[in-house]
Amino acid sequence: MSESQDAVPRRTFLKAAFGIGTSILVGGLELRFAPVIEAAVASPTIANCDTWGAAPSTEPITVLSTKPNKILVHHMANANTTDYSLTHAYQMARNCQQSHFNRGWIDTGQQFTISRGGYVMEGRHRSLEVLRGGTQHVRGAHCDGQNDVAIGIENEGTYTSAQPPAALYNQLVALCAYICQQYNIPSREIYGHRDFNATQCPGDQLYALLPKLRSDVAARIGDGGGNPIVWPIVQRGQSGERVKTVQYLLRARGNTLTPDGVFGTGTETAVKSFQTSQSITADGVVGAATWEVLILTVRRGDINEAVKAVQSQLVSKGYSVTVDGNFGAGTETAVKSFQTSRGLTTDGVVGKNTWNALVS
Ligand SMILES: [Zn+2]
């Protein structure tokens, strides 16, 4: 059965408030009004753990004092049921929690779950209250290397060949928009599980919908959209500046390998060891999951091996800087010039976006 996505109307609130703002005289009667356009995104209805009958977590939930920086979309790889009822949704959430207990996890792995009928539920305990607060993050168990920074949404069903039902998709848009608003996450920071781990999740069909999802969320929160960050794959057998960057960054973590720009067994071993230390699958391949924890934000005044990586990249792009690991005025000027050339915020600080542009 072919199921299409309904167009989502842009949700903008137009309020006419009396008593503030402009006043005009109409036939001697003074009218005061102020049209206020708010970008506020309302939360979809989200059933908390008590409502759907969750069992208690087996250990206390970890709540981090940092905000998440992205959303990861999953499919549950379970049946594409045609039971769209609330009763079914709650049973499915309980089944999911039980299967995650069976994996040895302390609770449901993801922060939120959406049923095929379009019911949105809290996954891991405390996820909803923490989302409402907008300043903290519940550590999940849904994606290696990303659990401290990503909110996971599990979508009931299997979307390798089937399309998600409109009811589910519409609630996914609503939930993502609300999460983005609560944490000020850009709409382009919505990814599929496969962008970070070796998995088919969330299935080819749901994965193919992510550009539409980002643009539908962008329309709701009004952040202008944009493309997601894509990291290059760096692995054994390659050579060049990108490899050198990986080597400098590994050195910044205490490794002593030679930054020769050649990805041999020594570099592979160092990558695997770093991946293990970060609880990422130790495959020796530097992809998105590894890049995101390997990069270090550097700025003027910093002196380290990560600065050398930046300087070496800048030299390879024609900038005249010395590769000495000392982030001084000359390096800052070159970084700003590079940022301007790539349409990035020209702040001279090498963070995620600038690192990505340097190695892409
Ligand atoms: Zn997944």
Q: Give pLDDT, residue 337.
A: 97
Query: What is the structure's pLDDT at 101?
Result: 98
| pLDDT at residue 18 is higher than 70 | no
Pairwise CA distance, residues 26 & 30, whole Å: 6
* Ion ligand 1, residues whose Cβ is below 5 A away: 74, 193, 201
Residues 216, 285 share a domain: no
When the pLDDT of each residue in the chain is averaged and rounded to a whole number, the result is 91
211 plus 263 within the same structural domain = no
Query: Is 205 in the same domain as 251?
Result: no
Q: What would the pLDDT profile of 42-77 be if each residue is shown by its tens digit?
A: 999 999 999 999 999 999 999 999 999 999 999 999
Closest by CA to 95, choosing from 115, 117, 69, is: 115
Q: Which helix (H) or strand (E) holds 18?
A: strand 13-26
Look at residues 221, 252, 282 and tell me which one is the last residue of a structural domain: 221
Band of the pLDDT at 236, cuts 50, 70, 90?
very high
Å from CA of 300 to ligand 1 middle: 39
How many whole angstroms from 143 Cα to the centroid of ligand 1?
7
**CA 44 to ligand 1 center in whole angstroms:** 22
- Residue 61 in any domain: the answer is yes
Determine, yes or no, domain membership for 234: no
Contacts of 133 (CB under 8 A, 6+ apart): none
Tell me how far the alpha carbon of residue 273 lies from the centroid of ligand 1, in angstroms.
24
- Where is pLDDT greater, at 76 or 23? 76
Beta carbons within 8 Å of 171's beta carbon, 6+ residues apart? 44, 114, 118, 119, 120
For 267-288, write each residue's pLDDT tens digit: 999 999 999 999 899 999 999 9
Q: Inform me whether the pLDDT recorded for 12 exceeds 70.
A: no
pLDDT at 144 exceeding the cut of 70: yes
- Based on the fold, state whether residues 247 and 213 are members of the same structural domain: no
**What pLDDT is attached to residue 87?**
98
Domain end marker among 164, 193, 221: 221
Q: 38 in a domain, yes or no? A: no
The CATH number that applies at residue 67 is: 3.40.80.10
164 and 197 co-located in one domain: yes
The verdict on residue 63 lying in a domain is yes
- Residues 114 and 172 occupy one common structural domain: yes
Is residue 141 in a domain? yes
Answer yes or no: is 30 within a domain: no
Among residues 221, 255, 282, which one ends one of the domains? 221
Distance 347 CA to ligand 1 centre (A): 35
Q: Are residues 318 and 208 in the same domain?
A: no
pLDDT of residue 225: 87
Tens of pLDDT along 193-219? 999 999 999 999 999 999 999 999 999
Return the pLDDT at 227.
Answer: 85
Band of residue 37 on the pLDDT scale cut at 50, 70, 90: very low
Domains in the chain, number = 2
How many whole angstroms from 82 Cα to the centroid of ligand 1? 22
Looking at the structure, tell me whether residues 119 and 211 fall in a common domain. Answer: yes
| Residues 266, 136 share a domain | no
Query: In the predicted model, is pLDDT for residue 34 greater than 80?
Result: no
Question: What pLDDT sits at residue 29?
Answer: 53
Note the pLDDT of residue 11. 34
**Is 345 found in the same domain as 216?**
no
Is residue 312 one of the residues assigned to a domain?
yes
Q: What is the tens place of the pLDDT at every residue in 308-356? A: 999 999 999 999 999 999 999 999 999 999 999 999 999 999 999 999 9
Are 152 and 247 members of one domain? no
What is the residue range of 327's domain? 241-359
CA of 193 from ligand 1 middle (Å) equals 5
Shared domain for 194 and 67, answered yes or no, is yes
How does pLDDT run across 89-135, given as a tens digit for each residue?
999 999 999 999 999 999 999 999 999 999 999 999 999 999 999 99
Tell me the CA–centroid distance for residue 218 and ligand 1, in Å. 23
* Model pLDDT, residue 320: 96
Residue 75 lies in a domain: yes
